[in-house]
Amino acid sequence: MSALQQTIAREISLSGIGLHTGNQTTITFKPAPPDHGYAFVRADLPGKPRVEVDADNVVIEESILQTALGRGEEQLHTVEHVLSAVRGLGIDNLIMEVEGNEPPVGDGSAKPYVDVLLEAGLVSQDRPRHTIAITEPIWMFQNGLELAVVPSNTLEITFKINYDHPAIGIRSASFLITPETFVKEIAPARTFCFLRDVERIRAEGKIKGGSLDCALVIGDDGFINQDLRFEDEIIRHKILDVIGDFALLGAPLKAHIVAVRSGHAFNVEFVRKIERTLGIKRGRPVFKVPIGHESIKKLLPHRYPFLLVDRITHVDPQTGLFAGYKSVSGNEPFFQGHFPDQAIMPGVLILESMAQVGGAGILSLPENHGKYAYLLGVDGAKFRRPVVPGDRLEVECQLKKFRKTTGVVDCVARVDGQTVAEATLTFAIVKQEAMQIS
């Protein structure tokens, strides 16, 4: 898979009926800029509201037979096949406008979406792809359902099903997921249901658009359809659903996913658990204010004895105001030599503490996750009074300018409300891999 983010080359549409609603609908795929991610738009509603692709936006009680996003009249049903197609193809940024409350079902697989997206063409973008790496196993068990992710350098999915039916029984399958294998081995697999459940599901207001043309139907003696695309088509479709539901993470996953009898609601709950465990949202680290010591170390490369901020207390992306503090202890290593008879915090370290608050604030913004902030310049530095053991150095930084690769902040450091230092700091914002010093 490409190391760069991808979107599509041009706008393209697909029309049909919705599987569960039976409504006529059209989905239009549009290119999106780097770091945009996925978003649905209800083009049929006033104001064209966005429906965010987020596990917290899934209505779990609506997601037993399908994955539904949003609430009220903005709700969008059965998004898993679309999301499986875009994630399976390695598309990172996409706007999906839907004229209706459900994308078209097509033939019940992800193939119709794959075909139109490939017809539109995929293009690389000038940003590295964000990925989610699993370093320690995460698992969840509930009522005979199981899901786990274990470390891997690639995406592999193993799925086991267990149906009390002579035509199915216990089966398992495992696939290494790449765009090529997804297109050939997974995308064509169609959704399925048991004939004995059809009337009950329809009585619940579902599968109004269902038929043998868009689903495999399993009767008492076996498949009613005579045109199976794969001998194990239903388990491949379960893997297709996992890819679609895990697209809610917001970035490609590097892991081996092991699933036993899992369905949409369980998949979504597990995605939420992954996000909580890793401290991410939409594929990026989540830094909730206050940002504590361990989370600061995820933003800044500094370590003892040069990590000079203890907590970030305020981050306002709208106004560009960042604040944090450093509690100055008599045990600071620099006090051994500055000065042995009169402990005073060096002015350059006060500046460094200010720079770390400003840098951490800038790097906490979503577009800067995974980057470094290197100090390029210091202007107008003034020191008003000494900082000594027992002081709490409170730093406030106001973002003056921000471009793709540079940021400028006005910083003020205070102790007990009195200004001790001030300066204007300029940073270079660079990708981590771009700063290899030899």
pLDDT band at 16 (very low <50, low <70, confident <90, very high): very high
Is the same domain home to 249 and 318? Answer: no
Across 177-330, the runs of DSSP E, i.e. the strands, are 192-194, 216-219, 222-223, 253-260, 280-281, 284-285, 311-316, 321-327
Q: Considering its fold, how many domains does the chain have in total? A: 2
Tell which of 269, 284, 299 closes a domain. 284
Pairing of strands 222-223, 38-42: unpaired
Q: Which domain holds residue 164?
A: 4-284
Is the same domain home to 265 and 391? Answer: no
* Most confident region among 159-163, 392-396, 431-435 by mean pLDDT: 392-396
Residue with tokens 């539904």: 68
| pLDDT at residue 22 tops 90 | no
pLDDT per residue as tens digits for the range 102-144: 999 999 999 999 999 999 999 999 888 989 999 999 999 999 9
Tell which of 267, 284, 301 closes a domain. 284
Mean pLDDT of 235-255: 96
CATH number at residue 401: 3.10.129.10
CA 332 to chain centre: 39
Is the same domain home to 43 and 134? Answer: yes
* Mean pLDDT score across all residues of the chain: 91
Residue 221 is predicted with a pLDDT of 83
Question: Pick the catalytic residue: 130, 256, 264, 369?
Answer: 264
CB 145 within 8 A of CB 266: yes
CA 193 to chain centre: 31
Is the same domain home to 262 and 327? Answer: no
CB 362 within 8 A of CB 418: no
pLDDT band at 405 (very low <50, low <70, confident <90, very high): confident
Phi, psi (degrees; rounded to nearest 5) at 51: -115, 105
| pLDDT at residue 164 tops 90 | no
For the ranges 4-13, 100-109, 182-191, 361-370, the lowest mean pLDDT is seen at 361-370
Is the same domain home to 249 and 332? Answer: no
Of the CA atoms within 13 Å of residue 383, those in its CB half-sphere come to 12
Collapsing DSSP states into helix, strand and coil, what is residue 2? coil
CB 421 within 8 A of CB 409: no
Which of these, 235, 233, 217, 229, lies nearest to 170 by C-alpha position? 235
Count of CB atoms within 10 A of residue 429's CB? 21
Q: Which two tokens stand for residue 231?
A: 């001998």
For residues 411 and 132, give the distance between their C-alpha atoms in angstroms, rounded to a whole number. Answer: 34
**What is the b/e burial string over 373-409, where b = at least 16 CB atoms within 10 angstroms of the residue's CB?**
bebeeeeebeeeeebeeebebbbbbbbeebeeeebbb
Mean pLDDT of 332-360: 95
Mean pLDDT of 403-421: 93
Residue 433 is predicted with a pLDDT of 55
pLDDT band at 11 (very low <50, low <70, confident <90, very high): very high
Is the same domain home to 398 and 255? Answer: no
Q: Which two tokens stand for residue 254?
A: 């590097």
CA angle 75, 78, 84 (to 5 degrees): 125
Beta carbons within 8 Å of 194's beta carbon, 6+ residues apart: 165, 217, 218, 219
| pLDDT at residue 437 tops 70 | no
For residues 41 and 99, give the distance between their C-alpha atoms in angstroms, rounded to a whole number. Answer: 9
Is the same domain home to 314 and 277? Answer: no
Is the same domain home to 30 and 82? Answer: yes
What percent of the chain is predicted at pLDDT more than 70? 97
CATH number at residue 115: 3.30.1700.10
- 77 is an active site residue: no
Collapsing DSSP states into helix, strand and coil, what is residue 211? coil
Is the same domain home to 339 and 383? Answer: yes
For the ranges 18-27, 88-97, 234-243, 429-438, the lowest mean pLDDT is seen at 429-438
Is the same domain home to 273 and 296? Answer: no
For the ranges 160-164, 284-288, 326-330, the lowest mean pLDDT is seen at 284-288
Mean pLDDT of 199-211: 81
Higher pLDDT, 202 or 7: 7
| pLDDT at residue 438 tops 60 | no
- 302 is an active site residue: no
pLDDT band at 369 (very low <50, low <70, confident <90, very high): confident
Tell which of 242, 260, 284 closes a domain. 284
Is the same domain home to 154 and 192? Answer: yes
Q: Using the 8-state DSSP alphabet, how is residue 190 labeled?
A: P
